[in-house]
Amino acid sequence: EGPVEVVNKFCGNLWSATYDHSPLDVVAWHGNHTPYVYDLRRFNVIGTISYDHPDPSIFTVLTSPSDTPGLAGVDFVVFAPRWLVGEDTFRPPYFHRNVMSEYMGLIDGAYDAKADGFVPGGGSLHNMMSAHGPDRATFDRASAAELKPQKID
C-alpha cells in the first residue's frame, strides 16, 4: 500500500522511480495460483545441425508478453542437455546485447559460456543493452577447439 520506490543500477548509475503501487501486485489477474509442474529434463531441445549458433530464444519454455511487440515481460528459458555439432562455428553463446534485462540461473548441469560454470543456485544479471558473452577462458578454449560433436550435460 502506498508509494513504492524501485531502484535499478545501469551503466554504473543508480536510477530511481516511484510508483503509487507495488510493481508486484496482480491487479486484473485472470489466472490462478495453482502450482505448475513440468519435468524440465523432458523439454525437447532443438539446435543447429549445420553451422552458426542459434538464437537462445529457441530454448524458451514459458513467456509473459508485454504490450511492446518483441519484448517479453519475462521469458523462462531452459538449456537442457544437448549436442553441439555446428561446423566452422564458435559454439558458446556469442557476445550480444538485449532489449530487455536477462537474468540467468543454474539449477543443475553445465553452462557453456563460463569455463568454471555456475554452481547450482548461482546466476547472473545482464541489464538491458549491456554487452555480455562468454568469459575469456571459454572464448580462448572455443576458438582453438577441434570441432567434433560435443555433449553439454
In DSSP terms, which residues pair with 6 in a beta bridge? 17
Whether the CB-CB separation of 26 and 41 falls below 8 Å is answered with no
In a domain, 66, yes or no: yes
At residue 29, does pLDDT exceed 70?
A: no
- Total tally of structural domains belonging to the chain: 1
In DSSP terms, which residues pair with 97 in a beta bridge? none
Q: Is the pTM of this model over 0.85?
A: no
Give alpha helix (H) positions in 1-121. none
In a domain, 81, yes or no: yes
Instruction: Give the C-alpha separation, 115 to 44, whole Å.
Output: 25
Contacts of 81 (CB under 8 A, 6+ apart): 41, 45, 109, 151, 152, 153
In a domain, 59, yes or no: yes
User: Is 132 assigned a ligand-binding role in the annotation?
Assistant: yes
Instruction: Give the C-alpha separation, 133 to 106, whole Å.
Output: 16
User: Is 21 assigned a ligand-binding role in the annotation?
Assistant: no
User: Is 30 assigned a ligand-binding role in the annotation?
Assistant: no
pLDDT attached to residue 33: 63
44-94 pLDDT, tens digit each: 888 888 888 788 788 888 888 888 887 888 888 887 788 888 888 888 888
In a domain, 4, yes or no: no
2-26 pLDDT, tens digit each: 898 988 888 889 999 998 887 777 6
Instruction: Locate 41 and state its grid cell.
Output: 529434463
CATH number of the domain where residue 141 is located: 2.60.120.10
Instruction: Give the C-alpha separation, 86 to 46, whole Å.
Output: 12
Handedness of CA 8, 9, 11, 12 (dihedral sign): positive
In a domain, 10, yes or no: no
In DSSP terms, which residues pair with 102 in a beta bridge? 126
Show the domain range for 122: 28-152
Residues with catalytic function: 53
Vertex 57, ends 149 and 76: CA angle to 5°?
110
| DSSP designation for 96 | B
Instruction: Give the C-alpha separation, 48 to 148, whole Å.
Output: 14
At residue 120, does pLDDT exceed 90?
A: no
